[in-house]
Amino acid sequence: MIESTLKKYWLSEREIKIYLVSLQYWSLRISTLARIAQENRVTTYSVCENLERKNVGEILSKNNVKYFVASSPQRLLQNLEQQYKEIENIIPELAALENNHAHKPRIRYFEWEDWLKELYLDMLSYTNSDIKTIIWPDTISEKFKSFLDETFIPTRAQKNIFAKVLMPKTDLNIAYQRIDEESLRQTKIIDNDTFNIQCEINLYGDAEVSFAMFWQEEMSWVIISSKHLHTTLESLFTNIRDKQL
């Protein structure tokens, strides 16, 4: 619990280790700190310098001997509060920079499966419109399928967000279609000969378009915020879907 929380304070595992050891003794010779932490002395000194830069401790010198003094837990909290205030003060300037590009598409790129889970859940913050999805589920890992079945789909249904889905014709997808009603969605199956889709496309909100690549060598997610792109793809989606009715 302590280690995982301190990682959010931008500390590495080695920095956390050195900080926790030094906190127990308040002030230690860096050579002694290295011995107790079972780390190389040169490495420990470098870690202490990093901690000092992050306001998590201070290196002191006495009689040509270097000591490290860990910041108290209360000091850590004060530092975070100060950082929060500094960020809060520049929010208007940051917003102004963002507004300079308000009429241009905003593109965001993400990697790693855990990020994809967070981004999927973020889709559910757009509650005023349906989610339109073109997907090839065969490319999705079993782990991510479990997340979709156990977390994402039930949460979407609970929030009463309807999903319209286009899928290629496979036995798995036909079985998927059979539970449409309980999953609050409408799935349309398209013949494989005319539907060679190898990534997922999601349309949500009034301007959000996401492309998800689930292939292991290309695991990534691109989100483009653009009303024009959203409208264009929504038109194509509706045209394809209506032809399957």
CATH of the domain at 68: 1.10.10.10
Tokens coding 141: 């890992």
Residue 98 lies in a domain: no
Look up the CATH number of the domain holding residue 234.
Answer: 3.30.870.10
Higher pLDDT, 174 or 60: 60
| CA 98 to centroid of chain Cα atoms | 20
- Distance of CA 245 to CAs 165, 171, 175, 239, Å? 13, 19, 18, 10
Q: pLDDT band for position 99 (50/70/90)?
A: low
- What total number of domains does the chain contain? 2
- 201 and 123 fall within a common domain: yes
- 64 and 114 fall within a common domain: no
Over the stretch 47-96, which tens digit does the pLDDT of each residue have?
A: 999 999 988 899 998 888 999 999 888 888 888 888 888 888 888 887 77
- 111 and 64 fall within a common domain: no
Is the pLDDT assigned to residue 98 strictly greater than 70? no
Residue 152 lies in a domain: yes
Residue 207 lies in a domain: yes
**Stretch among 12-21, 156-165, 172-181 having the lowest mean pLDDT:** 172-181
Strands of 163-168's sheet in order across:
106-111, 220-225, 208-213, 200-204, 131-134, 163-168, 185-190
Domain stop point among 54, 72, 90: 72
Domain stop point among 20, 50, 72: 72
- 62 and 160 fall within a common domain: no
Range of the domain at 180: 106-243
Taking the CB of residue 23, how many other CB atoms lie within 10 A of it? 15
Residue 89 lies in a domain: no
Higher pLDDT, 175 or 209: 209
Q: pLDDT band for position 46 (50/70/90)?
A: very high
Residue 151 lies in a domain: yes
Residue 88 lies in a domain: no
- 148 and 239 fall within a common domain: yes
pLDDT computed for residue 209 by the predictor: 93
State the residue for tokens 């190389």: 40
pLDDT computed for residue 119 by the predictor: 77
DSSP 34-59: HHHHT--HHHHHHHHHHHHHTTSEEE
pLDDT computed for residue 245 by the predictor: 53
Q: pLDDT band for position 139 (50/70/90)?
A: low
Tell me the three state secondary structure of residue 161: coil
Q: pLDDT band for position 101 (50/70/90)?
A: low
Residue 230 lies in a domain: yes
| Greatest mean pLDDT among 89-98, 101-110, 176-185 | 176-185
Tokens coding 148: 């979709």
Is the pLDDT assigned to residue 162 strictly greater than 90? yes
- 111 and 230 fall within a common domain: yes
Question: Could you tell me whether strands 200-204 and 65-70 are parallel, antiparallel, or unpaired per DSSP bridges?
Answer: unpaired
Residue 202 lies in a domain: yes
- 49 and 115 fall within a common domain: no
pLDDT computed for residue 137 by the predictor: 67
Does this model's pTM top 0.75? My answer is: no
- 111 and 67 fall within a common domain: no
